[in-house]
Amino acid sequence: MASQPGWVRADCHLHTIASGDAWTTLDQLAERVVAVGLDVVFITDHNVTTAAVTAMERGIGARVIVGEEIRTPKGDIIGLYLNERIPYVLPLAEVTGRIRAQGGLIYAPHPFDQGRSSLGASLVDLCETGQVDVIEIFNAKIINQDANKEAAELAARYSLPGGAGSDAHDPVGIGAAYLEMPDFDGPASFLSSLGRATITGEYRDYAPRFTAS
């Protein structure tokens, strides 16, 4: 649990088995949030929201924010506080517009990680046009910390808040990175609280899904 009254621990970016390349079930997620002491989890599965909605409805011991990591031709972008799924491989501008139309937040994950589908230079254009709300400045799956540093520098340049997430695809990875921040209620409150957030995080590679017999 958070170290201060009225504060929470939030992992802003994680995946469940619904992502297709992850293997955390909702039961495992429920066990892990208790073990790590997380208060809020943003479930951001690839191109689907079904598991996040189910987790929110059934309860997992932490508050659930529905998100989606959406593949676009320019790279991945995350929508937070979504009410409905957004199709993948739409143009980036259409995806950000659909996130906004739902009252959601546009969150840029691992923007300079060259090993994944990242926005890179396209994120600068989004910043210039005011089409991003949060830049992920610590992603626990990034081994080269220069990529996280570059993201933090870009966020500072445009006075945008920084997010942090484990990007966990397995149960043990959940909580490898999280924010400790004042509690929040809704998108605007979340953005406001980010200004006082502190990051706890460490690099953690993807755990092998199968072990040799």
Domains of the chain: 7-201 (3.20.20.140)
97-113 tens-digit pLDDT: 999 999 999 999 999 99
pLDDT at 3: 75
Give dist(CA 41, CA 133) in Å, integer: 18
Question: Over 80: is that where the pLDDT of 212 sits?
Answer: no
Average pLDDT, the chain: 95
Distance (Å) of CA 66 to CA 53, 102, 157, 179, 187:
6, 12, 28, 17, 11
| Residue closest to 36 by CA, chosen among 57, 56, 8 | 8
**Beta-ladder partners of 43:** 14, 66
Question: Over 80: is that where the pLDDT of 213 sits?
Answer: no
154-184 tens-digit pLDDT: 999 999 999 999 999 999 999 999 999 999 9
As given in the structure block, the two tokens for residue 140 are: 């626990």
Give this prediction's pTM.
Answer: 0.95
